[in-house]
Amino acid sequence: MDYFVKKGSVVREIWGKGDTILFIFAGASAEFALNKAVDWLYFTGRLPADPLGRLFSTVAYARQIIFSGYDDAIKAIDRITAIHHDVEEKRGAKIPEWAYRDVLFLLIDYSIRSFEVLERKLADVEKAELFDVFYRVGNRMGVSGLPETYAEWLPLRETHLQQNLTYSKFTADLYRQYKKHLGWLRFHLLKQIQKVLVPVRVKQLLGQDGSLYITPLLSLYKLSKKIKLDKFLRNMLLPAAYKAQIQGMDA
């Protein structure tokens, strides 16, 4: 069988680990809140109403693309495209092309950052392989202006960070929703993880300059993986209503 992402790919390794996926979306949740096109997420109302539910639906699509056969992966990408076009039709406007690029760019970036925090450093060839997967997703979706190589992506990612992010009323509201749905302890843990992951520009806009107490906790967590306690600890720190979905993220 042909696959959109070949077996043995580092992309499967990254997106086959539940803790790495959760870190990816911890970083993404910070950047989503700052994006100048975040009003599109408010148009449907789904993200502020249920941030965790939105996370797991996004994970489901991403994993279908990464782990399914080629034809099924293409169908999943086309469904994502159709969903966005439907939203555009209902609003009577087009989602900016740079907003589509931003989402692809942050998924590339936080996939790298999360895996390196939790597992190991990635070689440049592995980063290029990861980039290629998301490039092909964007290309299938018809997103314009995509860089064609990882080397071309690096400076463009920095340009997007500088031009397309701002702190707005949507940022403040999304963080209120994160706190409401996660509870005080998990919300503060989320912010600590974000401090470890996000680029300097994101930290500046969010004012994330406080103490960083999660570093020793991450060391303990990595140790817990060696003695097979990591899933137990991870499940303790996440809402009980989502434990089945969380456990299902491990390939």
Please write down the long-range contacts of 60-63, taking CB distance under 8 Å and 24 or more positions apart: 62/15, 62/107, 63/15, 63/249, 63/251
pTM of the model: 0.91
pLDDT in tens, 92-107: 999 999 999 999 999 9
Structure tokens at 126: 């592995």
pLDDT band at residue 48 under the 50/70/90 scheme: confident
CA distance 150 to 135: 9
Q: Which stretch of 63-77, 196-210, 232-246 has the lowest confidence by average pLDDT?
A: 232-246
pLDDT band at residue 251 under the 50/70/90 scheme: low
Structure tokens at 222: 């990595």
What pLDDT score does 142 carry?
A: 96
Report the number of secondary-structure helices (H) and strands (E) in the chain.
Answer: 15, 0
Contact assessment for residue 143 and residue 95, using Cβ atoms and an 8 Å cutoff: no
CA distance 223 to 219: 6
- Give CA torsion, residues 31, 170, 53, 235, to 10 deg: 60
For a pLDDT cut of 70, what percent of the chain falls above it?
A: 88
Structure tokens at 230: 């990591």
What pLDDT score does 229 carry?
A: 54
Which range has the top average pLDDT, 40-44, 152-156, 204-208, 245-249? Answer: 152-156
Q: Which stretch of 59-68, 149-158, 164-173, 209-218 has the lowest confidence by average pLDDT?
A: 209-218
- Give CA torsion, residues 201, 176, 20, 41, to 10 deg: -80
Structure tokens at 157: 């990612």
What pLDDT score does 33 carry?
A: 93
What integer is the mean pLDDT of 53-69?
85
What pLDDT score does 210 carry?
A: 67
Closest to 4 in 3D by CA, of 73, 75, 80: 73
Q: Residue 213: is its pLDDT beyond 90?
A: no
* β-sheet bridge partners, residue 165: 35
Which range has the top average pLDDT, 15-29, 123-137, 203-217? Answer: 123-137
What pLDDT score does 5 carry?
A: 96
**Residue 24 neighbours by CB under 8 Å, 6+ apart:** 107, 110, 111, 114
pLDDT in tens, 106-155: 999 999 999 999 999 999 999 999 999 999 999 999 999 999 999 999 99
What pLDDT score does 63 carry?
A: 87
* β-sheet bridge partners, residue 69: 3
